[in-house]
Chain A
Amino acid sequence: MKLKQKDLLGLEYLSKEEIELIIQTAKPFKNLFTRTVKKVPTLRGKTVVLLFYEPSTRTRTSFELASKRLSADTIGISVPASSVVKGESLIDTVKTIEAMKADFVVIRHSMSGAAHIVSKTISASVINAGDGMHEHPTQGLLDIFTIMEKKGNVKGLNVAIVGDILHSRVARSNIWGLNKLGANVFVVGPATLIPTEIEKLNVEVCHNIDKIINRLDVINILRIQKERQEQNLFPTLEEYSEIFGINSYKLRNAKNDVLIMHPGPMNRGAEISSEVAESKNSVITEQVTNGIAVRMSVLYLLAGGDGGKSETFNS
């Protein structure tokens, strides 16, 4: 099996079958984590460049571990946001990386479409680790993997994504992926943080989670940023928290086995209460573990040869 493109830029561009293949392949990688030696030699000699234009501890560590557990060499490049305008252009930077013979470029960037620029510029495999408000495909995949593990299937589940949908690449990747696998997706948040015409992505918009909470199988809670208050997108963080924050009172009518997810890092007390984050329904730490497995799966599946020679590996 193989993914159609050389790159993973977004879940919009993957078929249902490709998403399922990535999830299916993630399982044996996750099993690897229980061994003493958590490492396989699969990508020995390959180089993974982690090009981060935005600070990120989690995603970067996760990609780094995923690469290392596949025995690939990794090198991290952090570019301060200020140098996007002042410094070397993105195109020149990635051309340099290509000249150093990288096999994978994992890019995180504050601007939508940055991963596409890299993809058009170089022949190495490009993995989008989050571009602006566009997509964060591996986060979407790890969320789906986690849901599948806990619920067995995604089809027919009612999944709510709660929070700042407008600025969220996690929301967009989740919406594409979950819809392809047949979930019913709700987006919940203040009207100021719901992007225009999002219904066309086959989601239901809701401003009052109480109305749907008893139907939900999964609640994926997004981080809310203080900065949005300064942009007048809501009056105060306190008011946001009261209306959209998920706490045990809001969950009083929820299903017993509702899954609570959060891509992290959490603002405890803002979008999620500590009680909910630590509850038995919460799979937030498991998402982190699954993130490594999913990223290993993506690296493995993108590592295929050029198709010139399809040798059978006979005994």
Chain B
Amino acid sequence: MKSTPQKVIVNSNEMSITLRRLAHEIIEKLHGVNNLVFIGIQTRGVFIAKRIVSLIESITKKTISFGTLDITLYRDDVDRISKQPIVKETEIPFDITGKDIILVDDVLFTGRTIRAAMDELIDFGRPKTIKLAVFIDRGCRELPIQPDFIGLSYPITKKDVISVNLKETDGKDNVVVYKKGD
């Protein structure tokens, strides 16, 4: 079976509206941003986090600390996959102990990435809280992990593929779904 054609479910305009809504929701729910830091998960989570951070900064006129996290070394399948993923940069230029962390990723699927990310964060220090923000929740969880902030909920089966494209990494902003070929 061939892959089905890609269907655009979020366009560029809808994406910026959603991000703006997420920014407001975070500010509102957390009653301010004083103790807040953002950690984006490599690769696309980093850019989504950056966009939300700059939105919040422009709304609140405050500077927000930001870090990146590569979870490759915390994966639970290193000996199962045939090709080792490239290890990307983890850079958290501040102490996370006592902070309220917003962990950001593009898609929430099985929950394994978030499990790895939390393990890694704990190795850096003892945050006060960790909350999870994702742009798309596509369902099919394998671990008991739920997001605190969701851009869009779009439940699909395991065979479906969802990808978030971003200007920074893919040259355009949209979200597409398709069925994978054999």
Tell me if chains A and B make direct contact, with any CB pair below 8 A. Answer: yes
**Which residues of A are at the interface with B, using a C-beta cutoff of 8 A?**
1-2, 24-25, 28-29, 31, 35-37, 39-43, 46, 70, 300-301, 303-311, 313-315
Contact A309 B84 (CB under 8 A): no
Within 8 Å by CB of B77, from A29, A300, A313, A315, lies A313
The CA-CA distance from A159 to B125 in the complex, in Å, is 43
Contact B106 A40 (CB under 8 A): no
Within 8 Å by CB of B79, from A29, A36, A301, A305, lies A305
Tell me whether B65 is interfacial, beta carbon within 8 Å: no
Q: What size tier do the contact residues of chain B reach?
A: 35 or more
Contact A315 B74 (CB under 8 A): no
Tell me whether B182 is interfacial, beta carbon within 8 Å: no
The CA-CA distance from A168 to B105 in the complex, in Å, is 50
Within 8 Å by CB of A314, from B74, B79, B107, B134, lies B107
Give A70's nearest chain B residue, CB to CB. Answer: B73
For B108, what are the chain A residues with a Cβ–Cβ distance below 8 Å?
A: 315
| Whole-angstrom distance between the Cβ of B39 and the nearest chain A Cβ | 14
Contact B86 A304 (CB under 8 A): no
The CA-CA distance from A315 to B86 in the complex, in Å, is 17
Give A307's nearest chain B residue, CB to CB. Answer: B82
Contact A41 B119 (CB under 8 A): yes
Contact A315 B88 (CB under 8 A): no
For B84, what are the chain A residues with a Cβ–Cβ distance below 8 Å?
A: 1-2, 300-301, 303-304
Give A28's nearest chain B residue, CB to CB. Answer: B87
Give B123's nearest chain A residue, CB to CB. Answer: A37
Contact A311 B83 (CB under 8 A): no
Which 4 pairs from chain A and chain B are nearest by CB? A307-B82, A40-B73, A37-B123, A314-B109
Contact B124 A35 (CB under 8 A): yes
Contact A25 B86 (CB under 8 A): yes
A-facing mask of B127-148, CB < 8 A → 1, else 0?
Answer: 0000000100000000000000
Contact B123 A39 (CB under 8 A): yes
